[in-house]
Amino acid sequence: SRQMSWSTKDIPSQAGKLAVVTGATGGLGFETALELARAGAEVVLTGRSGHKGAEAIGRIKAEVPKAKVSYENLDLSALGNVKAFAEAFAARHGTLDILVNNAGVMAPPSRETTRDGFELQFETNYLSHFALTARLLPLLSAAGGRVVPLASVAARQGRIDFSNLQAERSYNPMSNYSQTKLACLMFGFELQRRSDTNGWGVASITAHPGVSHTNLINNGM
């Protein structure tokens, strides 16, 4: 079918568009940033390692010499860092065309908490992306932009357990991961509903990227 034959070659020109991709120094995020850059977009890659960021920029420019790419640190396990990133970004840019909420942590064997006191997967995968999207929403709305929350087929096994939202009572690596991905999916649908209701002009396109061979399980983001 036409749908199954689609490839990155079918991406229309993204010239003049500005994109932010979280977790873009490896895996799906890197490939997303690469293809957006290849299509002509200006792409801001984010991650937690300046070294990996510089490496990713170098790899993209080796393939796409004229690529407009840059790197910014963004630690999604810290809401204060999300706030600082969004404020600095908004000071430099009036609009944002594409926000790909890709970064994630999958199934650490034991429960970990962030400096904010949230369970690591819940804050990294869902809560910080919620906060990032909310803070960048005026820029997205001004551009008639789109948000791409990365969900997962794991969401099918997920349930939102409000009595154990941060795995305070019990922690199961995959159950908690599935909960965060269901939260991302629900957020994506609700963002579209609210955009339509309020006339924000933002498209929310939630994606299950397929089971892909990346380092997600090995090294978190």
Say whether 126 is catalytic.
Answer: no
Cα dihedral angle (48, 52, 55, 61), rounded to 10 degrees? -30
Q: 7 near 38, Cβ under 8 Å? A: no
Whole-Å CA distances, 160 to 139, 152, 167, 209, 220: 30, 15, 11, 21, 22
**First-residue to last-residue Cα distance in the chain:** 34
* DSSP-derived 3-state class of residue 13: coil
Distance of CA 108 to the CA centre of its chain: 19
> 146-149 and 203-204: which strand pairing?
parallel
* DSSP for residue 12: P
d(CA 191, CA 189): 5
> 18-21 and 42-47: which strand pairing?
parallel
Consecutive H or E run containing 141: helix 128-143
Q: Which of 71, 126, 171, 177 is catalytic?
A: 177
So which residues are the catalytic ones? 177
